[in-house]
Amino acid sequence: MNPTRWRILVGGLLILAGVIALVNTITGIDLGGFVWAVLFILGGLAFIYVMASDRSNWWAAIPGFTLLGIGALIGLEEIAPQASDQIGGALVLAGIGVSFLVVYFLNRNFWWAIIPMGVMFSLVALILLEPYMSKSVVIFFLGLAATFGVLALLPINNGKRTNWPLFPAGGLLLVALIVGIGANDWAGYIMPVVVIGIGLFLVLRAIRSKA
């Protein structure tokens, strides 16, 4: 993005902030929260414009969508404070998650972006479902397991699929199962059995490769 466009964007944001501040002074209406919400949203849109104008500026998606999420949070606090307390954090995390999803779509070689995306979306699900579930943390682990499961389906190894993401996916799925059933006594049996199963799989695979 050339310097002229940057100056126009920054100058426009400053003019808007000044106008809103002037309205605030004249009318006596406190628009401080709305000012910050608008500024964050416009700042996010500016970064998204930088990204959209040149796909090589993929990095701009991260601050762009993150700022949009923060702006939405601030605006929601002004409009509906109670709703903000419940889902405000989810808005910011969702913005960050979307940013990494966009990064992946801009460049399919950046498969690593799927992992932070999955973490953010899993936290969003945790926050949204926490009031309705006694063990909502299970959703977080299931989300992480699904994230690595998706990686196993994607061509991340020079255009080919790879199996290594299945191991963390299986481990996280097991953790979700243990937390979900809430049976700590079971953990003493499940974990050794899983370890033995993985060991047998590796040994048998090595033997078959030599045969």
Alpha-carbon gap, residue 96 to 16, rounded angstroms: 26
> What's the whole-number mean pLDDT along residues 119-136?
87
User: Per-domain residue ranges for the chain?
Assistant: 1-109, 133-211
Helices 81-106, 61-79: inter-axial angle, 10-degree rounding:
170
Burial class (CB in 10 A: 0-12, 13-18, 19+), 76: buried
- Of the pLDDT bands very low, low, confident and very high (cuts 50, 70, 90), residue 181 is low
The confidence score (pLDDT) of residue 187 equals 52
Tell me the C-alpha to C-alpha distance, in Å, between residue 148 and each of 4, 79, 133, 183, 207: 43, 37, 24, 25, 27
Give the whole-number percent of the chain exceeding pLDDT 70. Answer: 80
Q: Calculate mean pLDDT across residues 141-159.
A: 87
This model's pTM is above 0.85 = no
Helices then strands, counting H and E runs in the chain, come out as: 8, 0
Rounded to an integer, what distance in angstroms lies between the CA atom of residue 162 and that of residue 175? 23
Provide the CB-side half-sphere exposure for 70 (13 A, CA): 16
Token representation of residue 110: 């950046």
Distance CA 108, CA 65 (A): 19
pLDDT value, residue 34: 76
Which positions ≥6 away from 113 have C-beta within 8 Å? 100, 101, 103, 104
Split at pLDDT 50, 70, 90, the class of 194 is low
CA dihedral 94, 99, 100, 105 (to 10 degrees): 120
- The kind and range of the H/E element at 163 are none
At 66-116, the pLDDT tens digits run 999 999 998 888 888 787 777 888 999 999 999 999 999 999 889 999 999
What number of residues does the chain have?
Answer: 211
